[in-house]
A and B are shown apart, each in its own frame.
Chain A
Amino acid sequence: MKYRSDIDEKMTLCLSCHTLQFEQNSNCYVCDNEIHQRKPNSLKISFIFLISAFLFLIPANILIMMSSVEAGTLTSKTIFGGILFFFKAEDYFVGTLIFLASIVIPFFKIISLSFLLYVAKYKKQRYSHVGIKLYRIIDFIGKWSMLDIFVVAIMVGIVQFNNLALMIAGPASFAFATAVVLTILAVEHFDPRLLWSNDEQ
Protein backbone atom coordinates (compact mmCIF):
# COMPACT_ATOMS: atom_id res chain seq x y z
CA MET A 1 0.00 0.00 0.00
CA LYS A 2 1.20 3.50 -0.88
CA TYR A 3 1.17 6.15 1.81
CA ARG A 4 1.16 9.87 1.10
CA SER A 5 3.34 11.89 3.42
CA ASP A 6 3.16 15.56 4.38
CA ILE A 7 6.19 16.26 2.15
CA ASP A 8 4.40 14.83 -0.92
CA GLU A 9 1.43 17.09 -0.22
CA LYS A 10 3.70 20.11 0.51
CA MET A 11 2.15 20.45 3.93
CA THR A 12 3.61 20.96 7.41
CA LEU A 13 2.49 19.63 10.74
CA CYS A 14 2.86 21.97 13.72
CA LEU A 15 4.44 19.94 16.50
CA SER A 16 3.00 22.17 19.22
CA CYS A 17 -0.72 22.07 18.35
CA HIS A 18 -0.73 19.30 15.70
CA THR A 19 -2.44 21.38 13.02
CA LEU A 20 -1.69 20.39 9.45
CA GLN A 21 -1.19 23.37 7.13
CA PHE A 22 0.35 24.51 3.87
CA GLU A 23 4.00 25.28 4.17
CA GLN A 24 4.17 28.88 2.95
CA ASN A 25 4.13 30.23 6.52
CA SER A 26 7.08 30.08 8.86
CA ASN A 27 4.80 30.15 11.90
CA CYS A 28 1.74 28.08 12.68
CA TYR A 29 -1.49 29.96 11.93
CA VAL A 30 -3.19 28.51 15.01
CA CYS A 31 -0.61 28.66 17.79
CA ASP A 32 2.07 30.87 16.23
CA ASN A 33 4.84 28.37 16.94
CA GLU A 34 7.69 28.07 14.44
CA ILE A 35 6.94 25.24 12.03
CA HIS A 36 9.22 23.06 9.96
CA GLN A 37 8.42 20.04 7.82
CA ARG A 38 11.14 18.17 9.69
CA LYS A 39 12.99 19.35 12.79
CA PRO A 40 15.91 21.46 11.44
CA ASN A 41 19.36 19.85 11.76
CA SER A 42 17.70 17.06 13.73
CA LEU A 43 20.35 14.39 13.05
CA LYS A 44 23.33 16.70 13.65
CA ILE A 45 22.04 18.10 16.95
CA SER A 46 20.95 14.68 18.15
CA PHE A 47 24.37 13.25 17.24
CA ILE A 48 26.22 15.99 19.13
CA PHE A 49 24.10 15.42 22.26
CA LEU A 50 24.61 11.67 21.93
CA ILE A 51 28.43 11.94 21.72
CA SER A 52 28.56 14.33 24.68
CA ALA A 53 26.29 12.04 26.70
CA PHE A 54 28.62 9.13 25.97
CA LEU A 55 31.66 11.18 27.03
CA PHE A 56 29.98 12.11 30.32
CA LEU A 57 29.03 8.48 31.00
CA ILE A 58 32.72 7.49 31.24
CA PRO A 59 33.57 9.63 34.31
CA ALA A 60 30.10 8.85 35.68
CA ASN A 61 31.02 5.18 35.90
CA ILE A 62 34.63 5.63 37.05
CA LEU A 63 34.35 8.38 39.67
CA ILE A 64 32.70 8.22 43.07
CA MET A 65 28.92 8.53 43.20
CA MET A 66 28.39 8.84 46.93
CA SER A 67 30.47 8.66 50.09
CA SER A 68 29.08 7.93 53.50
CA VAL A 69 30.50 8.48 56.94
CA GLU A 70 29.25 6.04 59.53
CA ALA A 71 30.68 6.03 63.05
CA GLY A 72 33.80 7.84 61.90
CA THR A 73 34.69 5.62 58.90
CA LEU A 74 34.38 6.93 55.36
CA THR A 75 33.28 4.62 52.53
CA SER A 76 33.08 5.75 48.91
CA LYS A 77 31.20 3.94 46.19
CA THR A 78 31.00 4.22 42.41
CA ILE A 79 27.70 3.49 40.65
CA PHE A 80 28.68 -0.13 40.16
CA GLY A 81 29.98 -0.39 43.72
CA GLY A 82 26.61 0.79 45.02
CA ILE A 83 24.84 -1.92 43.00
CA LEU A 84 27.24 -4.60 44.30
CA PHE A 85 26.53 -3.38 47.83
CA PHE A 86 22.82 -4.11 47.37
CA PHE A 87 23.48 -7.57 45.97
CA LYS A 88 25.81 -8.37 48.86
CA ALA A 89 23.14 -7.22 51.32
CA GLU A 90 20.73 -9.57 49.45
CA ASP A 91 18.50 -6.68 48.43
CA TYR A 92 18.05 -8.07 44.93
CA PHE A 93 15.02 -5.96 44.06
CA VAL A 94 16.65 -2.57 44.69
CA GLY A 95 19.95 -3.82 43.26
CA THR A 96 18.30 -4.84 40.00
CA LEU A 97 16.31 -1.60 39.91
CA ILE A 98 19.40 0.59 40.22
CA PHE A 99 21.34 -1.65 37.83
CA LEU A 100 18.61 -1.20 35.20
CA ALA A 101 18.21 2.55 35.77
CA SER A 102 21.90 3.50 36.01
CA ILE A 103 23.69 1.09 33.70
CA VAL A 104 21.33 -0.77 31.35
CA ILE A 105 19.05 2.13 30.36
CA PRO A 106 21.77 4.76 29.56
CA PHE A 107 23.83 2.34 27.45
CA PHE A 108 20.75 0.86 25.78
CA LYS A 109 19.64 4.39 24.91
CA ILE A 110 23.01 5.31 23.44
CA ILE A 111 23.21 2.14 21.33
CA SER A 112 19.60 2.43 20.13
CA LEU A 113 19.87 6.09 19.28
CA SER A 114 23.09 5.45 17.32
CA PHE A 115 21.20 2.79 15.37
CA LEU A 116 18.30 5.22 14.76
CA LEU A 117 20.72 7.91 13.55
CA TYR A 118 22.32 5.34 11.21
CA VAL A 119 18.91 4.30 9.82
CA ALA A 120 17.84 7.92 9.32
CA LYS A 121 21.14 9.12 7.87
CA TYR A 122 21.66 6.27 5.37
CA LYS A 123 17.94 5.78 4.67
CA LYS A 124 17.78 2.09 5.54
CA GLN A 125 14.01 2.08 5.36
CA ARG A 126 13.69 -1.65 5.88
CA TYR A 127 14.51 -0.93 9.53
CA SER A 128 11.86 1.79 9.85
CA HIS A 129 9.37 -0.34 11.79
CA VAL A 130 12.00 -1.64 14.22
CA GLY A 131 13.35 1.89 14.50
CA ILE A 132 10.08 3.51 15.48
CA LYS A 133 9.51 0.85 18.17
CA LEU A 134 13.01 1.46 19.57
CA TYR A 135 12.37 5.22 19.47
CA ARG A 136 9.20 4.83 21.54
CA ILE A 137 10.96 2.58 24.03
CA ILE A 138 13.89 4.95 24.60
CA ASP A 139 11.54 7.93 24.75
CA PHE A 140 9.54 6.19 27.48
CA ILE A 141 12.36 4.78 29.63
CA GLY A 142 14.63 7.81 29.40
CA LYS A 143 13.55 9.57 32.57
CA TRP A 144 13.93 6.46 34.75
CA SER A 145 17.72 6.85 34.58
CA MET A 146 17.29 9.84 36.88
CA LEU A 147 16.49 7.40 39.70
CA ASP A 148 20.00 7.17 41.12
CA ILE A 149 20.46 10.94 40.98
CA PHE A 150 17.25 11.47 42.94
CA VAL A 151 18.34 8.86 45.48
CA VAL A 152 21.67 10.65 45.98
CA ALA A 153 19.94 14.03 46.30
CA ILE A 154 17.42 12.71 48.83
CA MET A 155 20.03 10.84 50.89
CA VAL A 156 22.43 13.78 50.98
CA GLY A 157 19.61 16.09 51.99
CA ILE A 158 18.21 13.83 54.70
CA VAL A 159 21.13 12.02 56.27
CA GLN A 160 22.95 14.77 58.13
CA PHE A 161 23.40 13.40 61.66
CA ASN A 162 26.66 15.33 62.15
CA ASN A 163 29.26 12.83 63.36
CA LEU A 164 27.00 9.78 63.51
CA ALA A 165 26.06 9.42 59.88
CA LEU A 166 26.68 11.68 56.92
CA MET A 167 26.24 11.28 53.16
CA ILE A 168 28.29 13.23 50.64
CA ALA A 169 27.58 13.38 46.91
CA GLY A 170 30.55 12.51 44.68
CA PRO A 171 31.64 13.99 41.32
CA ALA A 172 30.12 11.07 39.41
CA SER A 173 26.65 12.26 40.38
CA PHE A 174 27.21 15.47 38.44
CA ALA A 175 28.63 13.62 35.41
CA PHE A 176 25.80 11.10 35.45
CA ALA A 177 23.07 13.75 35.76
CA THR A 178 24.59 15.63 32.80
CA ALA A 179 24.76 12.42 30.76
CA VAL A 180 21.11 11.58 31.46
CA VAL A 181 19.90 15.08 30.59
CA LEU A 182 21.98 14.98 27.38
CA THR A 183 20.49 11.63 26.31
CA ILE A 184 16.98 12.97 26.92
CA LEU A 185 17.82 16.06 24.83
CA ALA A 186 19.27 13.84 22.09
CA VAL A 187 16.03 11.83 21.87
CA GLU A 188 13.97 15.03 21.97
CA HIS A 189 15.84 16.50 19.00
CA PHE A 190 15.63 13.32 16.94
CA ASP A 191 12.79 13.54 14.42
CA PRO A 192 11.35 10.02 14.01
CA ARG A 193 9.80 10.99 10.67
CA LEU A 194 13.32 10.93 9.21
CA LEU A 195 13.28 7.16 9.64
CA TRP A 196 10.64 6.94 6.93
CA SER A 197 11.42 9.78 4.55
CA ASN A 198 12.55 7.55 1.67
CA ASP A 199 9.48 5.36 1.80
CA GLU A 200 7.24 7.14 -0.66
CA GLN A 201 8.47 8.33 -4.02
Chain B
Amino acid sequence: MLNKACAECGVIVEIKNLNTKYTYKCPRCNYTIVSSGERFSYILSMSATALLFFISACFLPLMTFEIGGSSISVTVIDAITKMGYEGYWIISILSLYVGVVLPLVVISLIILILVPRSFNYSTDSERAYLKVYTMLRPWAMAEVYMLAIVVSAIKLKAVAIFTLHSGVLFFILFLVAFYASIIWFNPEDIWQKYEIQK
Protein backbone atom coordinates (compact mmCIF):
# COMPACT_ATOMS: atom_id res chain seq x y z
CA MET B 1 0.00 0.00 0.00
CA LEU B 2 1.19 3.47 -0.87
CA ASN B 3 0.32 6.65 0.97
CA LYS B 4 0.35 9.82 -1.09
CA ALA B 5 -0.71 13.39 -0.45
CA CYS B 6 -2.14 15.76 -3.03
CA ALA B 7 0.34 18.58 -3.69
CA GLU B 8 -2.41 21.10 -4.41
CA CYS B 9 -4.97 20.45 -1.64
CA GLY B 10 -3.21 18.26 0.94
CA VAL B 11 -5.65 15.33 0.93
CA ILE B 12 -4.12 11.98 1.88
CA VAL B 13 -4.84 9.20 -0.57
CA GLU B 14 -4.19 5.54 0.12
CA ILE B 15 -3.39 3.54 -2.99
CA LYS B 16 -3.73 -0.22 -2.68
CA ASN B 17 -1.86 -2.22 -5.35
CA LEU B 18 -0.36 0.60 -7.37
CA ASN B 19 -0.71 -0.05 -11.08
CA THR B 20 1.78 1.97 -13.10
CA LYS B 21 -0.51 1.94 -16.14
CA TYR B 22 -3.10 4.08 -14.38
CA THR B 23 -3.18 7.75 -13.52
CA TYR B 24 -4.36 8.49 -9.98
CA LYS B 25 -6.22 11.73 -9.37
CA CYS B 26 -7.08 13.56 -6.18
CA PRO B 27 -10.73 12.91 -5.21
CA ARG B 28 -11.20 16.49 -4.03
CA CYS B 29 -9.35 18.75 -6.48
CA ASN B 30 -8.66 16.39 -9.42
CA TYR B 31 -4.87 16.96 -9.29
CA THR B 32 -2.80 14.13 -10.78
CA ILE B 33 -1.22 12.44 -7.76
CA VAL B 34 0.52 9.48 -9.39
CA SER B 35 1.21 9.13 -13.07
CA SER B 36 4.16 7.01 -14.15
CA GLY B 37 6.31 8.20 -17.02
CA GLU B 38 7.29 6.29 -20.13
CA ARG B 39 10.05 3.71 -20.33
CA PHE B 40 13.52 5.26 -19.87
CA SER B 41 14.74 4.01 -23.26
CA TYR B 42 11.88 5.83 -25.05
CA ILE B 43 12.53 9.08 -23.18
CA LEU B 44 16.26 8.81 -23.80
CA SER B 45 15.87 8.36 -27.55
CA MET B 46 13.31 11.15 -27.72
CA SER B 47 15.52 13.61 -25.83
CA ALA B 48 18.57 12.66 -27.90
CA THR B 49 16.45 13.42 -30.98
CA ALA B 50 15.45 16.76 -29.46
CA LEU B 51 19.11 17.59 -28.86
CA LEU B 52 20.03 16.80 -32.48
CA PHE B 53 17.14 18.91 -33.79
CA PHE B 54 18.24 21.73 -31.50
CA ILE B 55 21.82 21.68 -32.80
CA SER B 56 20.52 21.72 -36.39
CA ALA B 57 18.11 24.56 -35.59
CA CYS B 58 20.97 26.59 -34.12
CA PHE B 59 23.22 26.51 -37.15
CA LEU B 60 20.73 26.48 -40.04
CA PRO B 61 19.37 29.87 -41.10
CA LEU B 62 15.92 30.75 -39.72
CA MET B 63 15.04 33.37 -42.30
CA THR B 64 16.49 35.85 -44.81
CA PHE B 65 15.52 39.52 -44.96
CA GLU B 66 15.90 41.95 -47.79
CA ILE B 67 15.62 45.69 -47.33
CA GLY B 68 16.59 48.06 -50.13
CA GLY B 69 18.98 45.62 -51.76
CA SER B 70 20.88 44.46 -48.67
CA SER B 71 19.98 41.08 -47.26
CA ILE B 72 20.68 39.31 -43.98
CA SER B 73 20.14 35.68 -43.09
CA VAL B 74 19.64 34.93 -39.44
CA THR B 75 20.47 31.85 -37.40
CA VAL B 76 19.76 31.37 -33.70
CA ILE B 77 23.51 31.79 -33.07
CA ASP B 78 23.38 35.15 -34.91
CA ALA B 79 20.47 36.27 -32.79
CA ILE B 80 22.49 35.41 -29.68
CA THR B 81 25.63 37.27 -30.70
CA LYS B 82 23.94 40.31 -32.18
CA MET B 83 21.64 40.98 -29.25
CA GLY B 84 24.45 42.03 -26.94
CA TYR B 85 25.12 45.24 -28.89
CA GLU B 86 21.92 46.96 -27.83
CA GLY B 87 21.56 48.93 -24.61
CA TYR B 88 18.85 46.70 -23.20
CA TRP B 89 21.05 43.68 -22.79
CA ILE B 90 19.07 42.48 -19.76
CA ILE B 91 16.06 41.85 -22.02
CA SER B 92 18.23 40.01 -24.53
CA ILE B 93 19.87 37.85 -21.90
CA LEU B 94 16.57 37.09 -20.18
CA SER B 95 14.78 36.10 -23.36
CA LEU B 96 17.65 33.99 -24.63
CA TYR B 97 18.04 32.32 -21.29
CA VAL B 98 14.40 31.27 -20.85
CA GLY B 99 13.68 30.83 -24.57
CA VAL B 100 16.70 28.93 -25.82
CA VAL B 101 19.28 28.10 -23.14
CA LEU B 102 16.96 26.62 -20.50
CA PRO B 103 15.18 24.21 -22.89
CA LEU B 104 18.64 22.98 -23.90
CA VAL B 105 19.71 22.62 -20.26
CA VAL B 106 16.51 20.74 -19.40
CA ILE B 107 17.01 18.29 -22.29
CA SER B 108 20.67 17.78 -21.36
CA LEU B 109 19.70 17.09 -17.74
CA ILE B 110 17.26 14.38 -18.84
CA ILE B 111 20.02 12.77 -20.90
CA LEU B 112 22.57 13.09 -18.07
CA ILE B 113 20.12 11.43 -15.66
CA LEU B 114 18.94 8.66 -17.96
CA VAL B 115 22.20 7.50 -19.58
CA PRO B 116 23.63 6.05 -16.32
CA ARG B 117 20.15 4.84 -15.37
CA SER B 118 19.78 2.81 -18.52
CA PHE B 119 22.92 0.88 -17.49
CA ASN B 120 21.34 0.37 -14.04
CA TYR B 121 23.99 2.54 -12.51
CA SER B 122 23.19 5.45 -10.21
CA THR B 123 25.63 8.32 -9.85
CA ASP B 124 25.98 10.74 -6.94
CA SER B 125 25.22 13.71 -9.13
CA GLU B 126 21.90 12.21 -10.21
CA ARG B 127 20.06 13.61 -7.18
CA ALA B 128 21.45 17.09 -7.82
CA TYR B 129 20.46 16.88 -11.51
CA LEU B 130 16.93 15.81 -10.55
CA LYS B 131 16.53 18.76 -8.18
CA VAL B 132 17.86 21.25 -10.73
CA TYR B 133 15.53 19.72 -13.31
CA THR B 134 12.45 20.17 -11.08
CA MET B 135 13.51 23.74 -10.36
CA LEU B 136 14.24 24.80 -13.96
CA ARG B 137 11.50 23.04 -15.89
CA PRO B 138 8.76 25.66 -15.31
CA TRP B 139 11.10 28.36 -16.67
CA ALA B 140 11.81 26.72 -20.01
CA MET B 141 9.71 28.69 -22.49
CA ALA B 142 10.77 27.40 -25.92
CA GLU B 143 7.21 27.37 -27.27
CA VAL B 144 6.71 31.05 -26.44
CA TYR B 145 10.01 31.80 -28.19
CA MET B 146 8.81 29.92 -31.27
CA LEU B 147 5.59 31.94 -31.36
CA ALA B 148 7.70 35.10 -30.96
CA ILE B 149 9.73 34.14 -34.06
CA VAL B 150 6.46 33.77 -36.00
CA VAL B 151 5.12 37.10 -34.73
CA SER B 152 8.40 38.90 -35.56
CA ALA B 153 8.30 37.43 -39.07
CA ILE B 154 4.74 38.72 -39.56
CA LYS B 155 5.77 42.11 -38.17
CA LEU B 156 8.74 42.30 -40.54
CA LYS B 157 6.56 41.45 -43.49
CA ALA B 158 5.57 45.13 -43.51
CA VAL B 159 9.17 46.41 -43.82
CA ALA B 160 11.13 43.73 -45.57
CA ILE B 161 10.93 40.84 -47.99
CA PHE B 162 11.65 37.71 -46.04
CA THR B 163 11.86 34.00 -46.71
CA LEU B 164 11.66 31.28 -44.08
CA HIS B 165 14.34 28.58 -44.07
CA SER B 166 14.85 25.09 -42.70
CA GLY B 167 15.97 26.42 -39.30
CA VAL B 168 12.35 27.18 -38.41
CA LEU B 169 11.27 23.65 -39.34
CA PHE B 170 14.01 22.16 -37.16
CA PHE B 171 13.03 24.45 -34.29
CA ILE B 172 9.43 23.19 -34.54
CA LEU B 173 10.65 19.57 -34.65
CA PHE B 174 12.82 20.32 -31.62
CA LEU B 175 9.76 21.66 -29.78
CA VAL B 176 7.75 18.50 -30.50
CA ALA B 177 10.56 16.19 -29.34
CA PHE B 178 11.23 18.46 -26.33
CA TYR B 179 7.61 18.35 -25.21
CA ALA B 180 7.34 14.61 -25.73
CA SER B 181 10.42 14.06 -23.53
CA ILE B 182 9.36 16.31 -20.66
CA ILE B 183 5.85 14.85 -20.65
CA TRP B 184 7.21 11.29 -20.63
CA PHE B 185 9.88 11.95 -18.05
CA ASN B 186 8.65 11.85 -14.48
CA PRO B 187 11.34 12.47 -11.83
CA GLU B 188 9.23 10.62 -9.26
CA ASP B 189 9.97 7.33 -11.06
CA ILE B 190 13.63 7.76 -10.13
CA TRP B 191 13.01 9.10 -6.63
CA GLN B 192 10.93 6.00 -5.97
CA LYS B 193 14.01 3.82 -6.42
CA TYR B 194 15.76 5.78 -3.65
CA GLU B 195 12.69 5.44 -1.43
CA ILE B 196 12.70 1.66 -1.88
CA GLN B 197 16.44 1.55 -1.02
CA LYS B 198 15.76 3.20 2.31
Contact = CB atoms under 8 A, between A and B. Distances in A.
Interface of A: 1, 3-9, 11, 13, 15-20, 29-33, 70, 89, 91, 94, 97-98, 128-129, 132, 135, 143-144, 146-147, 149-161, 164-165, 168-169, 173-174, 177, 181, 184, 188, 192-193, 195-197
Contacts of B151: 94, 97-98, 147, 151
Contacts of B134: 16
A17 B188 contact: yes
B79 to A, nearest CB: 5
Contact of B144 (A89, A144, A196, A197): A144
A144 B144 CA distance: 6
Contacts of A19: 191, 195
Nearest to B86: A156
B67 A94 contact: no
Interface stretch (B50-58, B89-97, B112-120): B89-97
A82 B79 CA distance: 22
A11 B5 CA distance: 9
B18 interface: no
A149 B149 CA distance: 11
B155 A155 contact: yes
Contacts of B31: 132
A2 to B, nearest CB: 10
Contact of A193 (B8, B86, B127, B191): B8
B129 to A, nearest CB: 11
Interface in B1-37: 3-12, 27-29, 31
Interface stretch (B38-46, B156-164, B170-178): B156-164
Contact of A9 (B12, B90, B141): B12
B95 A146 contact: yes
Nearest to B84: A157
Given A29-B198, A30-B191, A161-B70, A15 B7 contact: yes
Contacts of B160: 159, 165
